[in-house]
Amino acid sequence: MVKRIVFLLVLMSLSFQGFCAGFPRPTFKVSFSKTNVMAGDIVEIIIRFDVPKNFHIYSEKSDCPEDDGPIRASIDFTPQPSYELIGKFFGVGDRMVKETDVFNCSTGEFTTKGEFRQKIRVFTSIVNPGIQLIFNGQICNESGCDNIRNVAIKTPSLTVIGMDKSPSLTENQLNTQVDAIAKDSSVQSIPSGTQSTSYRNGKQSKIKTFNGNAGAEKSSSYWGLFILAFLSGLTALLTPCVFPMIPMTVSFFIKNNKRSIAIRDSIVFSLSLIGMYTILGTIVAIAFGANAGNWLSTHWLPNIFFTLIFLVFAASFFGAFEIVMPSWLVNKVDKKADNGGISGAIFMALTITLVSFSCTGPIVGTVLVEAVQGGTIRPIIAMFGFSLAFALPFGLLALFPSWLSKLPKSGGWLTSVKVVLGFIELAFALKFLSIPDQTYHWGILDREVYLAIWIVIFSLMGLYLLGKIRFPHDSPIEHLSVGRLGFVLITFTFVVYMIPGMWGAPLKGLAGYLPPIGTQDFNYSSKNGGRLEGNIAATPSYTESLSLPQNLAGYLDYEEALGAARTLKKPLFIDFTGHGCVNCRKMEERVWSDPAILNLLKTEFVVASLYVDDKKTVLPPSGWFTSASGEKITLLGDKNAYIEEQYFGKTTQPLYCIIDENENLLQPALGADYFNFQIPPFKKFLEDGISEFKKLRPKP
């Protein structure tokens, strides 16, 4: 009590000194972030002022108790039906200082120039003085302080054209609740950053659990990667660098009259091949590590590098050049293979690996690029699967030499295999370019552009298989074999399947490999004429550059979504997603699109899609914070990734979480592997979350 009395006396003394000294007042200048405004647009009011020399003005930021410290700056906006506030006003460019003489707590202050900002959504025509601002604060220097009270700030006129004709509204049309906001100015936006900020405290947050479990994900399955790598190994056998060498290599084993030695050498040869490629996968895994997966899969630098690598591979398969190992190395290893015995079998395997590199190198590189983006163990599994398929025929033919006579003869078909692989490599190159295009919002490869290029690539591939296109190293096609005709039919069927996608067809078979349908400029199949549906309590932020799948209305920021869940008294469904996440797109296209699932998400939940890999969307300065590791978080994507790790202990996408308004987990946090892209388990997950939410509701 004594301390407070002393403080008040000191403050009164300082204020009196300031009053007697005739403290100056700042002059405010107001502008708008854009002048061509239509009804429904979000506009930022920018309030700038110069601080008199040798003075400072305290900002709204302060660590002092509410009833202690200096008077914090505040700007009051006179309520008007012509606009609504979006979030809270915030200062830009102020600095935190330590007051030791009087206040003894951290405060923010402007020393030379000051700036405040506030976002609003405008609804009807506004002319000055439609937006009326009142400033309150405190100005100080070394001699004392003076209060600034009820200063009216003059705003320029802002004319708003039209009603509900904004291009941004067409793109981000909200449900009927947003229309109600436009008619009822009493409904205000949820202030960002006020609902939950425990992850910002610079300390490790406690992982949320449900019945003791943070998540009940199935152990990650690597069978898909293994099968892809195994099929790639079989494909490598059909290239002109490898296929003709199979009989020659097998004869190396069976030239010995003793069958036991031939079997031994073939087993050593096969195991050596498997070991060499698996060691390569291990080296790659150690070099990149598990933590590099997210960076490799989303950053522009590795993805542009992968794109160029795939283009080089495609050019090599088309015959522009050959990627070969140095001849001195191949010859030296080949001489070692002539020694025979176990060491000879090992060096024979190494010789095959080096000699066939011009054909297998691009295929191995493709598998490794795909594998390295998913953690440490994936490159090892990928190279094991590839090498197992690659070594299997050599070992089996050495055990059963009579099968050699049943092998097809070498010929021009082997060259055709290489060229077809070149077209496929060209299509894959586009996939890696698409990822940074989405994460950085470049806008180069929208969905229809991507599809148009794929349609051209695979059409050319079909014409090549028909013999209508030839490369210099190709043999003339005298007749069309049944097998070749089958590949032609498959290729052109795939092309026809893609064509409706140019007008917005979902193409579920390619879910995850195409850019999101939201990037398509013209979508004939858009539901409800492009109008979003869902539970909204206030206008979401970041809708200019991000959106939710399946025409859902929802949020892109954690605090805004949590505030809406509290307002609407509904559970919050969180979708941790990413632009470059293949499994996210598969879940959205195959599971979320189901009418029963969509109905649950629209009616029973507040939905938030939190993009963890977005590299472009910047948080407002008031939302910046420092992570537990000391990293300054300024991007929305980094914030979402940090929340996922801090609250749910995961770094994978998609991750689906259901929480209540008190941030209690209502079901374990689950990923795509758990649902296996099936509708019934996902529907049960949502229904169980709703039941748990109702169970925790206070009874009337």
Same domain, 232 and 158: no
- Residue 173 belongs to a domain: no
Residue 391 in this model has a pLDDT that exceeds 80:
yes
Confidence of residue 523 (pLDDT cuts 50, 70, 90): low
Q: What is the mean pLDDT of residues 533-545?
A: 88
Question: What is the tens place of the pLDDT at every residue in 578-592?
Answer: 888 888 888 998 999
> For residues 588 and 675, what is the distance between their CA atoms, to the nearest angstrom?
12
CA nearest to 383, candidates 397, 398, 366, 358: 366
Q: Which of 396, 416, 444 is the last residue of a domain?
A: 444
What pLDDT does residue 67 have? Answer: 66
Query: 248 lies in a domain?
Result: yes
Measured distance CA(375)–CA(281) in Å, rounded: 12
- Looking at the domain assignment, is residue 461 inside a domain? no
Kindly provide the residue ranges of all beta strands, DSSP E only, lying in 14-112, ordered along the sequence.
Answer: 28-32, 37-38, 42-50, 56-62, 74-77, 83-91, 95-98, 106-110
Same domain for 150 and 240? no
pLDDT at 63: 76
Tokens, residue 220: 């990650």
Instruction: Give a yes or no: residue 628 inside a domain.
Output: yes
Q: How many CA atoms lie within 13 A of 443 on its CB side?
A: 4
Please identify, among 444, 464, 488, the residue that sits at the C-terminal boundary of a domain. Answer: 444
Cα separations in angstroms, 492 against 318, 436, 464, 613 = 20, 29, 12, 35
Q: Are residues 539 and 440 in the same domain?
A: no
Does 135 lie in the same domain as 241? Answer: no
What's the token pair of residue 129? Answer: 């003085």
CB 462 within 8 A of CB 531: no
Cα distances from 4 to residues 16, 103, 207, 249, in angstroms, run: 18, 11, 40, 93
- Reference 290, options 406, 376, 176; nearest CA is 376
Residues 160 and 231 in one domain: no
Q: Tell which residue, 549, 572, 646, 654, has the closest CA to residue 190.
A: 572
Domain holding 150, by residue range, is 2-168
- For 329-381, the pLDDT digits (tens) are 556 655 655 555 677 777 777 777 766 666 676 677 767 666 665 556 778 88
Nearest CA to 255 among 356, 355, 401? 401
Note whether residue 182 is domain-resident.
Answer: no
- What is the pairing mode between strands 56-62 and 133-141? antiparallel
4 by Cβ neighbours in 10 Å (0-12 / 13-18 / 19+) ranks as: exposed
Answer for the pair 439, 545: CB distance below 8 angstroms, yes or no. Answer: no
Same domain? For 425 and 540 the reply is no
Contact call for residues 194 and 88 (beta carbons, < 8 A): yes
In a domain, 508, yes or no: no
Domain co-membership, 414 together with 545:
no
Q: pLDDT category, 690, cuts 50, 70, 90? A: very high
Give percent above pLDDT 90 in the chain: 17
Whether residues 536 and 437 share a domain: the answer is: no
| pLDDT given at position 20 | 40
> 234: Cβ–Cβ under 8 A, 6 or more apart, which residues?
389, 390
Q: Which residues contact 370 (CB under 8 A, 6 or more apart)?
A: 225, 228, 382
pLDDT of 595 reads 93
Judged by average pLDDT, the poorest of 90-94, 282-286, 666-670, 689-693 is: 282-286
Q: Are 185 and 84 in contact (CB under 8 A)?
A: yes
Asked if residue 215 belongs to a domain, the reply is: no
Encode pLDDT of 43-64 as tens digits: 888 888 888 888 888 888 877 7
Which range (285-294, 527-536, 562-571, 681-690) has the least confidence?
285-294
Residues 417 and 269 both lie in one domain: yes
In this prediction, residue 21 carries a pLDDT of 45
pLDDT tens per residue across span 257-271:
567 777 787 788 888
**Number of domains present in the structure of the chain:** 3
Residue 78 has pLDDT above 70, yes or no: yes
Give the CATH number for residue 93: 2.60.40
Claim to verify: residue 252 and residue 369 sit in the same structural domain: yes
CATH classification of the domain holding 587: 3.40.30.10
Answer with the one of 412, 428, 444 that is the final residue of a domain.
Answer: 444
| Same domain membership, residue 384 and residue 301 | yes
The residue with tokens 């939905």 is: 607
The pTM score is: 0.59
Residue 346: what residue type?
I
What is residue 569's predicted lDDT score, i.e. its pLDDT? 92
Residues contacting 671, CB < 8 A, separation 6+:
215, 217, 583, 650, 652, 653, 654, 655, 656
Q: Is residue 556 part of a domain?
A: yes
Q: What is the pLDDT of residue 158?
A: 74
Residues 153, 69 within the same domain: yes
pLDDT score at 102: 62
